[in-house]
Amino acid sequence: MAEHVTCQEVVELVTDYLEHALPADEAALFEQHINFCDGCEWYLEQMRTTVAAVGRIEEEDVPPETREKLLAAFRDWKRA
Amino acid sequence: MTHLGAQRSKASADELELLTRLRAGDEQAFEALVARHYGTMMAVAQTYVKTRAVAEEVVQEAWLGLLQSLDRFEGRSSLKTWILAILVNKAKTRGVREARSVPFASLAQEQDEPAVEPDRFRGPQDGFPGHWRAYPGKWGTAPDVALEDRETLGVALRAIAALPPTQQTVIRMRDVEGYSSDEVCAALEVSAANQRVLLHRARSRVRAALEAHLDG
Amino acid sequence: MIAYKFLRRDGSSVFTGFRWPLPEGAPGAWVDAPVDPCRSGIHACRPAGLPYWLGRSLYEAELAGDIVEERTKLVASRARLLRPVSAWNDSLRDEYTRMCADRAHALAASPPLGQWDAVIEPSVPEGPALLGFVAARIAEERHGAEGYRDERARQTAWLVERLGLQDDTAS
């Protein structure tokens, strides 16, 4: 059983950690590392910020042709 | 109808309002709904069918299907869960005809994709092997870390659009749309572990894109 | 049972940001959290765990309810903070950091582990938790996993003595 994990390992474990999918002892090694390593603490923070930013994406451009077709379909449906 | 697992939540007040407006024939409500889900629907469709053009058709068919069964939606599952179910059904039907091109099960054969370039870490001969050579930036929750910034969201969106279809689908469903892990696994018929690998790779790439934008 | 808990300077939890009811002249209020591996539960440690969890503020805590013991920490469903361990202040933190740095240099000295020696002083500003790891890591380089654990045990002994804690390693 490993005594510690490296930063290189931590960046690969980060998603599983956030998903609560790490086994207990790996999660402990992960947290111990975050506790002493500023770089990885900031990396974890960057990942959380990334997820939050992605969560703020709301609407995207729909291609005009698709828009037209769907609007036409909607109008047909309204009439029916 | 595709069963999407136990974690459905009821249609939210916001969704129900949209639904009411839809039933009343409100075009703006329909356009808003389409725009909101377009990206994810296209990504999901493209995991079932080969070309973007066919995926477009699948998405259009899904919206048609939704309109046709609008009367039957009772709000017992969330609206977005229901939209997804319709889409997956249409995509599967089309996909079967086309022979699905990117099976999730082939993940095991895919190359390993490091979350961060290996040369950013100290080598095995260095003191402190595996440690950062230079620490990543401290973004924190400072006001200048632009969660609200349109430009930054644009960077994130472009990064997502550049992802391989499987990664794009998972990050869109989980992080953009907020589907649960169970819902994603059920809809895409992928294991929780595989879903996490895809999510990990997708998030890592998006983070890297944001880093390039924010830290230069 | 009695255990120890590090918090940030503002009294919030290091990993969750949870704001703990702090002891002011009397124990803080009890906090409940069902124990669910990796998801919830209150984390604390025995003295042997202190070097692994070093933070800004140290508290003596009382744990109750369901208690699960892991390698370096305890997870409890119920806990309260009894008193701050005020001996753990900036001055002692700096002393500990210097102690670990000196240990690290000594361990890296003969035969010289030059590539490690160069890492020690630049790590000092990052504080005690990092230096504790560096010293233990160099000990591991010298003497394997046992070396790592021995160095951590040395660190615990130093902390127990300087903080005036009850060492429960005998129990």
Domain boundaries, chain A: 7-79
Nearest to B196 among A21, A47, A73 (CB): A21
Rounded Cα gap, residues B118 and A8, in angstroms: 8
The conformational region for residue A23 under phi > 0 = left, psi -120 to 50 = alpha, else beta, is beta
Q: Which residues contact A62 (CB under 8 A, 6 or more apart)?
A: A70, B34, B35, B38
State whether C55 and C120 are in the same domain: no
Q: B170-203 burial, b for 16+ CB within 10 Å, e for fewer?
A: bbbbbbbbebbbebbbbbbebeeebbbbbbbbbb
Nearest to B34 among A14, A21, A70 (CB): A70
State whether C73 and C112 are in the same domain: no
Return the structure tokens found at B1. Answer: 């109808």
Give the architecture-level CATH label for domain B13-98: Orthogonal Bundle (1.10)
Pick the CATH number of B113-124+147-215 from 3.90.1010.10, 3.30.565.10, 2.40.50.140, 1.10.10.10: 1.10.10.10
Nearest CA in chain A to B140: A45
| Partner-chain contact B128 C113, CB within 8 Å | no
Residue that finishes a domain, picked among C26, C57, C84: C84
| Partner-chain contact C70 A34, CB within 8 Å | no
- Report the Cα B68 to chain-centroid distance in Å: 26
Q: Mind listing the pLDDT tens digit for each residue in A46-71?
A: 999 999 999 988 878 899 999 999 99
Rounded Cα gap, residues C150 and C148, in angstroms: 6
State whether C14 and C75 are in the same domain: yes
Q: Answer whether the bond into residue C111 is a cis peptide, omega within 30°.
A: yes
Let me know if residue C129 belongs to a domain: yes
Q: Mind listing the pLDDT tens digit for each residue in B48-102?
A: 888 899 999 999 999 999 999 988 888 777 888 889 999 999 998 888 766 655 5
ipTM of the complex: 0.94
Rounded Cα gap, residues C89 and B154, in angstroms: 45
**Sign of the alpha-carbon torsion through C152, C154, C157, C159:** negative
3-state secondary structure B142-166: CCCCCCCCHHHHHHHHHHHHCCCHH
Q: Three-class SS of residue C63?
A: strand
Q: Mind listing the pLDDT tens digit for each residue in B158-193?
A: 999 999 989 999 999 999 999 999 989 988 889 999
Chains touching C (3+ CB pairs < 8 Å): A, B
Residue C99 has pLDDT above 90, yes or no: yes
Domain ranges for chain B, please list them. Answer: 13-98, 113-124+147-215
Q: Do residues B189 and B104 lie in contact, with contact meaning Cβ atoms separated by under 8 Å?
A: yes
Residue that finishes a domain, picked among C42, C59, C84: C84
Nearest to A3 among C15, C132, C145 (CB): C145
pLDDT at residue B14, as a whole number: 78
Residue that finishes a domain, picked among C84, C114, C148: C84
Nearest CA in chain B to A45: B140
Rounded Cα gap, residues C54 and C93, in angstroms: 9
Band of pLDDT at residue C35, cut at 50, 70 and 90: confident
Q: How many CA atoms lie within 13 A of C82 on its CB side?
A: 11
More confident residue, B208 or C171: B208
State whether C36 and C98 are in the same domain: no
- Chains A–B, number of C-beta pairs less than 8 Å apart: 136
Band of pLDDT at residue B106, cut at 50, 70 and 90: low
State whether C30 and C49 are in the same domain: yes
Rounded Cα gap, residues B210 and A70, in angstroms: 33
Range of the domain at C105: 90-163
Return the structure tokens found at B33. Answer: 């709904």
State whether C10 and C68 are in the same domain: yes
Q: Which CATH class is domain A7-79?
A: mainly alpha
Q: Looking at CA atoms only, how far is residue B76 from chain A in angstroms?
A: 24
Mean pLDDT of B37-48: 91
State whether C100 and C142 are in the same domain: yes
